[in-house]
Chains A and B, each alone.
Chain A
């Protein structure tokens, strides 16, 4: 409520909890053991997966990246007869995101 004679016009906010989500998109692969197969295998477990989202693999001394534990929530496959087979994955971050 206003403390003056002027009516309140603008809403105000304070910060609450932090969270994050994201998605990955790519071409389907039949032999991506450490990538797509690992995501599918993790989908069937109760554990989150640690995900590195690399901004610059060549940065020194370490690659620039975001790191977080994530829950993959929506793997999707698209298979058209006349185009490339693609996959996408939505994920929800559980816990903190760190930026290296």
Chain B
């Protein structure tokens, strides 16, 4: 396929406090085990400190409580170990809370760098041939991302850097297809650039905390 321009990209950051929600319908991804919130929904990022009640239904009408084996709070998804049965296997959030996500309307570029450590474990030979090639094992994963934005009357930058809690960042490659990276991050650095002849800009550096999901 051809190259993709960034003109369909977008960045969203969560704000607090979280908001209560009830009976949020989820989309069946087809295996009857994985149910997700549509990527256009405002209720996509769930508050993992809130109490959630999930329900499943065989027909989309009759609901009963269910316990998924995994919940992806940062991007509204639940996974069951066995398929939900019935003619129309369905799932929903009976009750819970979501974190509102605001589009950073002044942003014009984002970048992300992830690292997986490679730790050397080259060892002495076990036969009569000397060791030649170095060997490595994988270490831990981490990452940072950067957001470039124009300075406007928007809730970015200095309003966020004082926040102690991590924000959930959703970085869309393309809002139409919904392809995106989602993670929690702390703003670690804000850089402002103000020149008389140019638009005022700011760059925000984020430290990823926890997993990154490529969706």
User: Which residues in A have some Cβ–Cβ distance to B below 8 Å?
Assistant: 17-19, 27-32, 40, 43-48, 71-85, 92-97
Q: Is the CB–CB distance between A80 and B112 below 8 Å?
A: no
**Minimum CB distance partner of A44 in chain B:** B141
Closest A-B pairs by Cβ, 9 of them: A19-B134, A27-B3, A94-B136, A92-B118, A80-B109, A84-B3, A71-B118, A96-B133, A81-B108
Q: Using CB atoms, name the residue of chain B closest to A15.
A: B132
The interface of chain B, by Cβ under 8 A from chain A, is 1, 3-7, 9, 108-118, 122, 131-138, 141, 171, 173-174, 177, 179, 181, 214
Counted as pairs of residues, one from A and one from B, with CB atoms less than 8 Å apart, the total is 107
Known pairs A77-B110, A95-B135 / 18 extra A-B pairs, C-beta < 8 Å: A17-B134, A19-B133, A28-B173, A30-B174, A30-B179, A43-B114, A43-B141, A44-B141, A71-B136, A71-B138, A73-B116, A74-B116, A76-B114, A78-B109, A79-B171, A81-B108, A84-B6, A85-B173
Residue in B closest to A74 when the chains form the complex, CB atoms: B115
Q: Are A85 and B4 in contact (CB under 8 A)?
A: yes
